[in-house]
Chain A
Amino acid sequence: MRIEDSEQAEEAVSLAQQAEWQDITPIEQDEGEGSMCPIAYTDEYRELMGYLRAVMAVGEVSERALALTARVIEENPGHYTVWVYRKRLVEELESDIAKELDWVSEISSKFPKNYQLWHHRESLVTRLWAPSNAQSVSEDQRVTNPVLRRELQFLGAAIDEDSKNFHAWSYRQWLISTYALWTQELVFVDTMINQDVRNNSAWNQRYFAILANRDPSAVHFEADMAKSEIEYVVEHIKLAPNNDSPWSYVTGLLLRHAPSMLYTDLLPRIKQLAADNAYQAAMTLTPFYWSALLDIYEQQAADHPDTKKQLVEESRAICDQLASETDIIHCRYWNFRKTSLDTC
C-alpha cells in the first residue's frame, strides 16, 4: 500500500481514536495564559505534534513513528527537529532509501523554498552511493549512475521551475563537488546562461565550475583559459550590454586569477566593442562598461606605475560621468571611488 493511501485513510480518524496509538500519551505544549503570538493550531496539527513530542521524548524507532513524521512534515516542512528524527528513523529502520527520495521529491514541489528538504536529500544520496565509491569510476560513468542521474534530473526540474532557486543552486554545488561532476556542470551552466543571460545564479555557478574545488588563492589561470573566458563573456555582453552579471563575472575572475589580463586582453576587447557601431550606444550608456574600465585601469596603474598619472586622470573623469549622468543613484559610491584613486 502506498504511504499516501494509508495516510489518507488515517487522516480521517484522529490518532487518539486509533488502537495502534493507545499506548502513547501525547505531550502538550505549555501554552499558558501569557503566550505571545500564540498560533491557533488546527486540532489535527495540535494532535500530530502532541504525539510527535511523545515518541521523540522516548526515542521510539518504529514504522508508526516514521509515518507520523511524514504527516508532520507535510503540515510544516520547516520543522527542523522532525527532519532530524526522520533521518534517524530511516537509518535505524533501514528503510528503502530510493523510496524515501521518491517521497522527498513528491513534497518538494509543494515547498520549493524549504531548506530542510534539500538537506535531507544530501544524507540519502550519500548513503545510496558513497562518494568514495564514486571516485573509482570516470565522470561519464558517474553522470549515468542512476542515483546521480536522478538528482541531476530533479535539480534540473527545480531550476526550470525557478531559475534562481537559491536552495537548488546551493544543493547543486554540494552534489557537483561531492561527486566531481565538473565537466557536465560547465555544459549545464552554458545552457542556463543561454536561456537567460541575466541569470546571475548561473554566472556564479560558472565561476564555481571553473574553479572546481581548487583553493581560489592558489589558482592562477593560464592565458588560454582566461582568453576563452573573456571571449565567452564578450559574446554574452553583446546580447545585452546593460547586464551586471557578465561584467561582474569577468572582472572578478580576472582580478583573482589573471589580473594583468584585465588590461592586456579584456580592455582591447571591450574597447573594440564600444567602438563598434552596432554596440556603441548601448556600451556608452551602460554603467557596467565604465565600471569595468575603472577596475581595469586601477590594476594597470598598480602594475605599471609609469602609466598611473594618466590612468588616474581618465578614471576621475569616468567617476564624474557615472556620478552625474550614467549612474546617478550610485553617485556616492562613485565619489568614493574617485577619492580612492588618489590613495592607490
Chain B
Amino acid sequence: MSYLFSYDYRYDDNAYDTETSNKQVDVEDSIGQIYVKYVEPGTAQYGGIFDDTMLRLHRTKHEQFVRDAMHGLSSGFAVLDASQPWLSFWSLNSLDIMGRTIDSTTRTQALQTVQRFQDQRGGFCGGQGQLPHLAGTYASVMALVLVGGDDAFASINRERMYEWLMTMKCEDGAFAVHEGGEVDVRGVYCVLVVASLLNIMTAELVSGVAEFVARCQTCEGGLGPYPGVEAHGGYTLCGLAALEIIGSTHVLDLKRLARWMSARQMAFEGGFSGRTNKLVDGCYSYWVGGAFSILQRALSRTPQDDMLYERRALQRYVLACCQDMRIGGLRDKPGKSADLYHTMYGLLGLSLAQHYVGVDPQTRITDTTSVYSVPARMMQWDVVTSAADVVGVSSNVVKPVHPVYGVSLVPLAKCIKYFYALPPLAPSL
C-alpha cells in the first residue's frame, strides 16, 4: 500500500504538552511546510498523494560542497582537528556513493593525507602527533578502501595494527577507543570492521565480543553504547554490524530489537529518530536503515519479504528535507546547516532505502570458525535489482552499499581480495 501524506499522521500530544512534545510539534510544523508543496492542493488533510516526480537529488550541488571541503576548511574546523581521517572518509565516500570519480590527483592526495595518520606502533590517529584511536583507524582504513589499489592497501601495517588492537582489548570483551579512552560498542564495531577487512581476525581478538554486545541491549530492544545506557540508533548499528561480522546476531533478542527499530521511523516526517521520543535526524537514515538491512538477514528474510520499514517515506525525507540548497550537502533536518557527516550518512541511508542489498537465506554461509568464513559471509551481500525502489526521478539512484561497512561493493571486494590473499595471523576464530 502506498503511503499517503496526511496531517492525521502528526503527533498526538493528548492535550498534555511537555518539552518533548513541543519540540516534536515544532519539527513537524517545519517538515509539513515542506511536504505540503509536493502534495496536490486541498488533499493534504485527508490523504494526499505525494508527487514524487518533484523529488530530485541535486548531485552537482552536493559534489561542489564536498570538493570545496576537500580543497580546504575554515579555521572553525579546528574542533575536528582530532577527527581528520573522518574528513577524508566523509568526503571520498560521499563522492563515491553519488557515482563521482575520484581522479588520480585526488587519489594521491587522499593516500598521502591518510598515510600521515598511521602510527608507528599501529593504528591510525586523529591527526599527526596524536594517539592512535579506533575511530580514526576505522575512518582511515575506509578512506583507503575507497582510494583502492595495492599501494594503498600495502601501506597499512597489519602486524602493528593487530598488536595495537590487542592493547585496546578489555576484560569484558570490548575495546577502549584509545589508550585511557572510553569503552563502548562503537569501539567494538571499529575493531571488527578493520580486523575483518585486513584479515587480522583471531579468536583472541573477538573473544567476549558477542557477550558484551548482547549486554548492551536494553529492555526497549535497541542497543546503547555500554550496558545500561539508553538505546540509541548509532550504537545499535555498531553492535548489530559487529555481530554480523562474527556471525552472532542470534545472541540478541531480535524480536524486541525489531520493535524498537520500527518505532524509529517517524509517522509524519518519514525519517528516523535515534532514540525514543527524540527528533528525526537525517544521519539515522544510515544508522537505523543499515540496521534494518542487517536485521533482514538476521531474521532470514528474503528479497520477496519487505524490509521492516517504509523505504519510500525515508527517501522522501532525505530528498525533500535533508538537501541544503543554499550551500549544497545534506543535513540533519530543515533549519540545520549541511555538513560532511550528514552528507555521507544521508547518502548512505538513501542508498540502502533505494536498493535491496541482502543475503539469500537459502544459500547463506553459516560457518563462523575460520577466518576465511568472514570474507565469504561478507561478500554474500549482494544487490537484488528486482527489489529496488527508487523514489523520484530515476536519476536519483545512487550506488548500492554494504550495510555493515557503509561503502560501495566494488571497492570493498577489491580490498577483501587483496588482504585475504595474504596469510592470516591465525587460521581460526
Contacts and interface: CB of A to CB of B under 8 A. Distances in A.
Contact of A38 (B72, B82, B108): B72
A78 B177 CA distance: 13
Interface in B161-186: 177-182
Contacts of B18: 195-199, 240
B75 A208 contact: no
Interface string B101-112: 000011011101
A1 to B, nearest CB: 27
A285 B14 CA distance: 10
A308 B20 CA distance: 39
A163 interface: yes
B14 A282 contact: yes
Given A35-B109, A40-B73, A252-B218, A330 B256 contact: no
A42 B74 CA distance: 9
A78 B81 CA distance: 8
Interface of A: 27, 29-30, 32, 34-42, 45, 49, 52-53, 56-57, 75-81, 84, 87, 115, 119, 163-164, 166, 169-170, 173, 177, 195-201, 204, 207-208, 211, 239-245, 248-249, 252-253, 255-256, 282, 285-286, 291, 324, 327-333, 335-336, 340
Contacts of B180: 84, 87
Contact of A335 (B79, B125, B230, B306): B306
Contacts, number: 228
B259 A36 contact: no
Nearest to A32: B112
Contacts of B116: 30
A78 B82 contact: yes
Interface string B62-87: 00000001101111011111111001
Nearest to B270: A329
B78 A200 contact: no
Interface of B: 1, 3, 9, 11-14, 16, 18-21, 69-70, 72-75, 77-84, 87-88, 91, 105-106, 108-110, 112-114, 116, 125-131, 133, 177-182, 218-221, 224-226, 228-232, 255-256, 258-260, 262-263, 265-267, 270, 275-278, 305-310, 313
Secondary structure class of chain A's binding surface, majority of residues: helix
B265 A329 contact: yes
8 contacts: A35-B113, A38-B72, A38-B73, A201-B230, A244-B277, A248-B263, A252-B221, A332-B308
A39 B131 contact: no
Nearest to B260: A248
B323 to A, nearest CB: 22
A40 B74 contact: yes
List the 5 shortest-distance A-B pairs measured between CB atoms, nearest first. Answer: A252-B219, A198-B20, A333-B262, A37-B87, A53-B129
B113 A80 contact: no
Contacts of A199: 18-20, 277
A332 B70 contact: no
B124 to A, nearest CB: 13
